[in-house]
Amino acid sequence: MPFVNVKIAGPAIAAEQFDSLHRGVTELMAGVLGKNADLTSVLVEEVPLQGWQVAARPLGCAAHIQAAVTAGTNDTEQKARFIAEANALLHRVLGDGLPLATYVVVQEIAAESWGYDGLTQEHRRLAR
């Protein structure tokens, strides 16, 4: 039941770019991290470019992905592969104008600290 937030700053992105990001991130969560695509939530947000800088310098465009997953459900290799492939996805969809400091974060949250439909992930694990 991952939640992924993709923040984009720069020129407005087209509907097909939104679709490519939603679809691409969902596929990476399922194919690389083994998450259930039917429970994967992806929010793509456009944020003002003026609020984003790298090295205290203005940018032409920027992007960031933060994926929340249950702690301990993925190994180091899976997370590294997700980070590499998500970065490649950003470059394919948004172009090569992204700064070097384009971060992809896999945030691990304790199973008892989050859930969906009123139940924690820990509750679901124990109920299996």
Greatest CA separation for the chain:
51
Q: What is the pLDDT of residues 100-112, one digit of tens each?
A: 999 999 999 999 9
How many structural domains compose the chain? 1
pLDDT of residue 98: 96
User: 105: domain range?
Assistant: 3-127
Q: Cα angle at 92 between 14 and 57, to 5 degrees?
A: 80
Answer whether residue 35 shows pLDDT above 90.
Answer: yes
CATH label of the domain that carries residue 21:
3.30.429.10
Q: Are 17 and 91 in contact (CB under 8 A)?
A: no
The rounded mean pLDDT for the chain is 96
What pTM, to 2 d.p., does this model score?
A: 0.95
* Residue percentage of the chain with pLDDT more than 90: 97
Q: What is the pLDDT of residues 48-101, one digit of tens each?
A: 999 999 999 999 999 999 999 999 999 999 999 999 999 999 999 999 999 999
Answer whether residue 1 shows pLDDT above 80.
Answer: no
3-state secondary structure at position 36: coil
